[in-house]
Amino acid sequence: MNAKWLKQNALMVGFAAGFLVLLGGEIWLQQMAAGKSTEVDANLEEQMSQLQHLFQSKTAPTRENIEIVKRDREQADRLYSNLLATVSQSRNETPPDLRPVGFLQLMASSFNRLRQAADANRVKLQDGFAFGFGRYAGPPATLPARNLPPEDARRILNLLVRQLAAIDQISTLLITNGVDEINQIHRAEVEPGGPPEAVGLAISNDPKAMYQVLPFEFQFACKSEALRGFLNSLTQSKWFFVVRRLQIAGEAPAMERAAAPSGGHGGAAVAPTATPMKRTQLSVTARIDLIEFPKEEPAKKEPPKKEPARPRA
């Protein structure tokens, strides 16, 4: 009878079974959702507790700390401005109307002054010594920046004038400190196709364009006292010179001691006597960089605002 009833009501039984399956699934999903909701509520409550703790602990910077940071920033800006004002005094700007012939005249004037100073201080220079500008000094003299567009010519002349001023300054320090001889001067070449005297030196710019490095190499002979005086003069100069490398050959020997011959059999030995230390000439190669900062431009003054005209009564 049960089998017959099931056959007669199979459709109803199927619907009932399906309903029970769906009901069970719904109950299971509700339980899962309730568990998730409880977990989410617990996490939210924990985060709210942490947020409340942060509010109560007052981790935000106080007004006093903010004022301190602002003052430090203003002080750093002021110190940087003072630094630029100090180190940019030595920067040599090329006159806007300078021509290649004018540079040759500046170079000849500088060479004459340095040669006279070298003669007065008994510093030896080779005949026709060109102070690192042999490419232009000749003979015969060669004009710089030939057959170049005006903008490129101004850029090259500007670099040459600054190199000339730096070499003049360093050479003057060498001469006034009494070196024996200036052998060679190398500089970074600013035009393509330069002589081998500029090998290994290149003008470098900071990626942020905050400063420029002009490298030089000087080879000279001197005594230790002259070298010490020259290095001290570099540190005291208003120019921002940095000694990158210093190679010295011919170090002064240690104090020599002459031992007197000992006496005969059983004779007492005589104590050695000190002899004066010999002043040995040093051969020095110095790599010196000139660090140049841009000159600080004055702040532009805004024109006063015109007040609107009042209508006449």
Cis peptide before 139 (omega within 30 of 0): yes
H or E element at residue 205: strand 204-205
Sign of the Cα pseudo-torsion (256, 261, 266, 268, in order) = negative
Contact 231, 241 (CB under 8 A): no
Q: Specify the length of the chain in residues.
A: 313
CB atoms near residue 175 (< 10 Å)? 23
How many Å apart are CA 115 and CA 125, to the nearest integer?
8
How many Å apart are CA 91 and CA 162, to the nearest integer?
7
| Residue 53, pLDDT score | 79
| Residue 171, pLDDT score | 97
- Record the tokens describing residue 133, joined without a space: 């500008």
Task: Please tell me what DSSP assigns to residue 60.
Answer: S
Instruction: Go through 88-98 and write b for each residue having 16 or more CB atoms within 10 A of its CB, e for each that does not.
Output: bebbeebeeeb
How many Å apart are CA 261 and CA 160, to the nearest integer?
64
Contact 88, 239 (CB under 8 A): no
**φ, ψ at 76 (rounded to 5°):** -65, -40
Contact 144, 106 (CB under 8 A): no
Cis peptide before 140 (omega within 30 of 0): yes
Domains in the chain, ordered, with CATH?
Answer: 93-252+280-292 (3.30.70.60)
- Record the tokens describing residue 74, joined without a space: 């203003």
Single pTM value for the model: 0.62
Contact 291, 90 (CB under 8 A): no
Q: With left for phi above 0 and alpha for psi between -120 and 50, is residue 147 left, alpha or beta?
A: left
Task: Please tell me what DSSP assigns to residue 299.
Answer: P
- Record the tokens describing residue 125, joined without a space: 């220079």
H or E element at residue 243: strand 241-249
User: pLDDT digit of tens for each residue in the chain (313 aa)?
Assistant: 567 666 667 777 677 777 778 888 788 888 787 778 888 888 888 888 888 877 777 666 777 878 888 888 888 888 777 766 666 555 666 677 788 899 999 999 999 999 999 999 999 999 999 999 998 988 888 889 888 888 888 989 999 999 999 999 999 999 999 999 999 999 998 887 765 555 567 787 666 667 888 999 999 999 999 999 999 999 998 888 999 999 999 755 544 444 444 444 444 444 555 445 556 889 999 999 998 876 655 555 555 555 555 555 4
| Among 186, 275, 172, 272, residue whose Cα is nearest residue 230 | 172
Strand partners, 291: 213
- Record the tokens describing residue 282, joined without a space: 């040093």
Helical packing angle, 150-176 and 224-236, nearest 10°:
130
CB atoms near residue 23 (< 10 Å)? 10
**Amino acid found at 117:** A
